[in-house]
Each structure stands twice: as C-alpha cells, then as structure tokens.
Structure 1
C-alpha cells in the first residue's frame, strides 16, 4: 500500500481544473517518476549510507507522484514524457552514476516550481528544498574525493590553453611565417609543460618533506625509562604536539609504564595510530613523480590545441580564427565542468573561462600587431 502523498495542508479545491492545469500536472507526474527512477539508478551503484539516502529520496518522489495521481484521477495514466532535463539525468545515471549526475540533480531540485504552484502543497515545496540540500551533501562527498586531482587537471589544461594561445596569437600577429609560429607553439608547449611538471614535483616533494619533518619520532620510547618521573618532561612533548594537559599526562603515564593514573583511557594515542595518521597524510599528498607527470600531461593536452591549425599546414587569418575557435570550445567545456561540479551554472562558468582566455589572447595579439611587421 502506498504511503500518503504528503503531510501538511492540501491545496484548496478550486473546482474543475483547466486543460492547461491537467497538462502541467501530468508533466509534474512524469518528472517525479523520472526523478525517482534516477535516484534508484544512482542507489544501485552505491552502498551503505549513500544507498539508503538515495532510496529514501526515491520514496519521497514517489509520494509526490501520488499527489499528482490523486489530482489527475483517471488521466494519471495518460502517457507524458518527462522533461528533457530529467530524461538526460536518467540516461547519465544509468550509464555513469557519478558525481556529475548528483551535481545536475542538485540544480534540478533547486529549480522546483512547487513553491509558486498553488496545486502543490507547502510540504511538497519544502521537500524539494530539503532534497536540494541532501543532494548537495552527497555531491560534496564526491567533490571532496576528486577535488585534488580535478583541480590539478583543470588548472593544468586551462593554463596550457590560455598561455599557448596567447603565445601563438602574439607571434602570429607580428607577421612571421606559419612555420615559425608552429615551432614557437611547440616550444611553448614543451617549456610550459616541463615547467608545470617541475613545479608540481618540487611542490609535492617539499610538502612530503615538511610532513616527514613534522612526524613524531619514537625517541620517547628509549628516553622514557631514564626520565625523572616527578618532572616528567614527556608531558611537554605531547603538549607541544597539540594535546591537552589531561591527554598529555595520560600519554606520558603510558609511556613510562604508569597505568594507575585516573585519566580517561579514551585519551590514549597508540603509536600505530600515529603511524597510520602520518601514512594517510603522505598518501593524500601523492608522489612527486606522479604529480609531475599529471601536470605535464594536463598542460600539454591544453597547449596542443592552439597549435593544431599550424600542425595541419594552415596559416594567416584562417589559422588564427580556427585556433581561437578550438580554444574557445575547450574553455567552454572546462568552465562548464567546473560549474557543474561546483553546483553553479555551467553556462556562466563556461562563459567566464571563455572571456578570460580570449581576453588574454586578444591583449597579446594586439601587442604583436603593435610591435610586429603586420599580418603575414
């Protein structure tokens, strides 16, 4: 037996609904069914708490579905296609089930029309607002898991796109040959990619070395037996590591073999836990070689795009226009992905990336015209 459609006040009875209202209700019904199916598809690819949350969301959408069924009566079974947005969400959920789908679902929940529709209950409108926050929380988990690698990928690719496009535009505007522009672009690609790789290697290695220098040593194991029990310098060691006085005294008592203190046993910090925590820090940082290779590849993947027209023998204004077009498409895509994952408008983020990239290219192109010999 299905659960009641919603709690809270029901919409007032306004007589026989118009044809437009019935069409709108059928659309709502189709969209609720599609959203419930999307959450079930996502739940199939998850386990534990996330799976339970997604299934609970699907049940909530089913309650909303029952509300529209009751209003429509015998017309509830009249076939209506879900909106294009919900069809795309369902397709992506079946094929991928990733954080991208959750980010899209978050935006979909945030655009619910129920708060402005008198046919929906206030409880349903509140549900949709809460659903947006639930999806935001689930999407945040995925964003957190990929934030480091994603930041490096977007930053590297975008840097390659903008810097090499600016270089190619500046040199091309001076009127030099297409061959010279090509080799300049390739030199810019290699120089930038090597610089990015070297910078990431040094950065990661330095961070690992800082973590290693900050990692507690085991000198307390050998020195503890010779310390003055009354002075107990070990307490200072643990307080310097950030422990409270109570936790430091308990830990020092453990180290010196005094297990008769009245401290809370939960304050214990065993060596293996400290080792595990230090290992987690190093794992989250990654390796210098891995970071260097990733940065090199991401930068090169972006920097090769402005050079493509010249690689295929083009030159002059046509090569400039095609190079800008290709880079513009790539900037729109990277900006759109950033907007999607951040829960913001992909269009706005894409246009922002486009404006920044092409703006930098326009400035360098103007400088090339100013100091060069004119177009080839």
Structure 2
C-alpha cells in the first residue's frame, strides 16, 4: 500500500506546507534539468546513469504534484544554485558540476520531512553516492595535473608573499624587493617544475616495475603441472595459499583444454599473471598524470601565483602600501584556490578557502617577523 496523500484523507495543507512543497517541486525540476543537461554531454554508460537520475527526480517531482493537487500553481524557479548548475551543465558538463550536485544531494531535507516518503529520502542518499562515483571518475582524470596546478599556485602565492614581506620588513628598497620577488618566482617555478617531473616519472616507473614481465605470460604453457609454480606467483601478488592454488589450477585446466595451436589461451576470468593486489594500474597512471604535463602545470601555476605579490612593486608601490596590496591580492587568490579544492573534493568551499587563507597568511606573518628581527639586528 502506498503512503497516504494528505489531500486524499481530507487534510487541508497549511499555507506554509504548500509553499514548502512548491519549493521542493521547483528544486526537483531544476535538479532533473541538471542531470538531463549533463547526460546530453556524455556518452555510453555515463549518459545512461545521468538519464536514470533525471528520471528519478521526475518521480519525486510527481510526488509533490500529487500532494499539491489544485495548489500546484504556476511553476516556480528552482534555487539560484541549482539553476546556475543547470546552465553550467548545459555548456560545460564538467566535474565541478558533478561535485556541486554531490553536495546538493547530500544535503537533501527529505530525511527530516514527514511529507517526503522514506523511499524518496533513500533515493536522495543513493543519488549522492551515484554522483560521487561519477565525480570520482572526473577527479581521477584531473587529479595528476590538478594536484600539480593547485600545489604550484599555492606555493607561488605563499612563498613569494613571504619572501617579499620578509625582505620589505628588513628595510630593503623597492628595487631590491622587486628583484628578489622576480628571482624567487623564477627559481621557485623551475624548482617546482623539475621536482614535479622527477616525482611523477619516478612514481610511474615504480608502477611499471610492478607489472608482470611481458615474456612471463608465454612461460605458463610449459609449466610443470604437478609442481605448479604458478601458484607461487599468485601468492607473491597477494593471494592466500588456498586462493592461489585454486586459481593456478583454473589456469592450468584452461591451458590443458586449449586446442593444440601452440598459442596461450586467454583466461577470461582473470589474467594468468595478474597485476599486484593494489589499485588498478591504468587508473593509477591516469591519476598520477604524465611527468611533462605535471611539470608544465607546476611551473606555470607557480609562476602565476608568485607574480601576484610582485605586482604592487611593478607598479611603483613600496613600503606598507605595497605590502597591503600584495597581501590583499594573495588573500583573494588563496580564497579562490581553496574554494576550487573544496568544490572538487565535495567539501565545503568556504571552509577550504578559509583554511588556505589561514595557512598562507600564517607563513607570511612568520616571515615578516623574521624580517623585522634580522633587519633590526643588522641596523
């Protein structure tokens, strides 16, 4: 038996109830539009998943229509946030939209609203997990280069602001501060780019070293069936002794049943020589990114961050006015990078932005105090 419709049992909804239901109805329409727009920009499985989410939002929309009955009135606009997301989804369809929709689904009020069914509340919770999974695919594609970009920009902002403030506090003139800032920009950008390249290349080489040797697969056909050393390979890769023996027997049985063509058959369930028992190799490589892309991203974003504190000195400011303008510009940039990280991680953009700001300014204050100390001691 379905859950009762309030109007069908003769209960007259209050004005507040009608307004709330109409708001829910508008939001469901807007969320369905987000998923439809995202679906239109995808292909294959992701397109089908997003279309399924849009259909589910349509069922929720019908629930509020049924409750409202004659009170449904003219369609209201969804929340500004959801309408902006629908517009972004239509034009870009990026992981940013999915990450924001993940937060929207996680904040659904249905679990605490008696007029929403338990099924709807459960749907919204599961929708959040579905969107989280889709967003994670995009995060995996972004994470290698994005990590280098965010770290590079943040390091450039903080390190060069701290350097400039420290030198300014020591009493150096504008030209010396400007020269120091440019030197810090170039040295830091080159160091970040080189370090990121070495780091990513080393990590990729470690992953490649964990893959089975390409010639080892051909040796499987000639293994001693009684000794069956293939089981040792599986145990070394992380299987238990029982699992290794069972899977080795499966592989050997498949080889024995193969036609005498001299070729090694493909075991469809699992490869004869599996990858290590760690996350998927291809996914690891995708998440890490390439050394060149990581190095270029790190170099460019460090330089773009490090140039911001230098700008006031380039335009002729010095002393406290230059420090104030540099700090304000860097503060805005730190808030921006923190908010972007928050959006992509599905966390609070404001909290992440304030965290970035606090860390960056904390480092700058410490450096300024050290500059005062050394400037006083050398006077």
Asked whether the two chains share a fold, i.e. TM above 0.5, the reply is yes
Q: TM-score category by the smaller chain?
A: 0.7 to 0.9
Provide the rounded CA distance (Å) in 1 between the counterparts of 2:56 and 2:152.
41
- Asked whether the equivalents of residues 190 and 300 of structure 1 are also in contact (C-alpha less than 8 Å), the reply is yes
Deviation at 1:211, TM superposition (A): 4.7
TM-score (norm 1): 0.82
Residue number in structure 2 paired with 1:354: 357
1:158 matched to 2:161: no
Deviation at 1:178, TM superposition (A): 1.1
- Asked whether the equivalents of residues 311 and 326 of structure 2 are also in contact (C-alpha less than 8 Å), the reply is yes
Distance 1:213 1:38, change over 3 A: closer
TM-score (norm 2): 0.82
- Asked whether the equivalents of residues 27 and 82 of structure 2 are also in contact (C-alpha less than 8 Å), the reply is yes
Provide the rounded CA distance (Å) in 1 between the counterparts of 2:209 and 2:120.
55
Spell out the pairing of 1:48-59 with structure 2 (5 A cutoff).
48-59=44-55
Residue number in structure 1 paired with 2:313: 310
Deviation at 1:117, TM superposition (A): 2.6
Residue number in structure 2 paired with 1:298: 301
1:322 matched to 2:325: yes
Q: What are the ranges of 5 or more consecutive residues in structure 1 without an aligned counterpart?
A: 1-5
Deviation at 1:81, TM superposition (A): 2.0
In the alignment, which of 181, 187, 192 is matched to residue 183 of structure 2? 187
Cα RMSD for the two superposed structures: 3.7
Deviation at 1:343, TM superposition (A): 0.9
Residue number in structure 2 paired with 1:133: 129
Provide the rounded CA distance (Å) in 2 between the counterparts of 1:118 and 1:167.
57
Deviations 1:204-248 (A, max 9, x none): 3333444555555466699999x9969979748845863835656
Deviations 1:61-105 (A, max 9, x none): 112212222222233232422211121111211121111111111
Provide the rounded CA distance (Å) in 2 between the counterparts of 1:337 and 1:206.
28
Residue number in structure 2 paired with 1:112: 108
Q: What are the ranges of 5 or more consecutive residues in structure 2 without an aligned counterpart?
A: none
Deviations 1:284-343 (A, max 9, x none): 655444432222112111111111111111111111111111111111111111111111
- Asked whether the equivalents of residues 35 and 53 of structure 2 are also in contact (C-alpha less than 8 Å), the reply is yes
Spell out the pairing of 1:210-289 with structure 2 (5 A cutoff).
210-211=206-207, 213-214=209-210, 216-217=212-213, 235=230, 238=233, 242=237, 244-245=244-245, 265-266=267-268, 269=271, 286-289=289-292
In the alignment, which of 7, 11, 31 is matched to residue 15 of structure 1? 11
- Asked whether the equivalents of residues 232 and 252 of structure 1 are also in contact (C-alpha less than 8 Å), the reply is no
Provide the rounded CA distance (Å) in 2 between the counterparts of 1:308 and 1:154.
20
- Asked whether the equivalents of residues 39 and 47 of structure 2 are also in contact (C-alpha less than 8 Å), the reply is yes
1:144 matched to 2:144: no
Residue number in structure 2 paired with 1:3: none
- Asked whether the equivalents of residues 339 and 345 of structure 1 are also in contact (C-alpha less than 8 Å), the reply is yes
Provide the rounded CA distance (Å) in 1 between the counterparts of 2:220 and 2:30.
65
Provide the rounded CA distance (Å) in 2 between the counterparts of 1:64 and 1:221.
53
Deviation at 1:50, TM superposition (A): 1.7
Residue number in structure 2 paired with 1:173: 169
Residue number in structure 2 paired with 1:196: 192
- Asked whether the equivalents of residues 247 and 267 of structure 1 are also in contact (C-alpha less than 8 Å), the reply is no
Provide the rounded CA distance (Å) in 1 between the counterparts of 2:308 and 2:347.
27
Residue number in structure 2 paired with 1:335: 338
Count of aligned residue pairs for this structure pair: 364
- Asked whether the equivalents of residues 220 and 255 of structure 1 are also in contact (C-alpha less than 8 Å), the reply is no
- Asked whether the equivalents of residues 143 and 341 of structure 1 are also in contact (C-alpha less than 8 Å), the reply is yes
Provide the rounded CA distance (Å) in 2 between the counterparts of 1:57 and 1:348.
29
Q: Counterpart of 1:306 in 2: which secondary structure?
A: coil
- Asked whether the equivalents of residues 220 and 272 of structure 2 are also in contact (C-alpha less than 8 Å), the reply is no
Provide the rounded CA distance (Å) in 1 between the counterparts of 2:3 and 2:350.
37
Q: Counterpart of 1:118 in 2: which secondary structure?
A: coil
1:76 matched to 2:72: yes
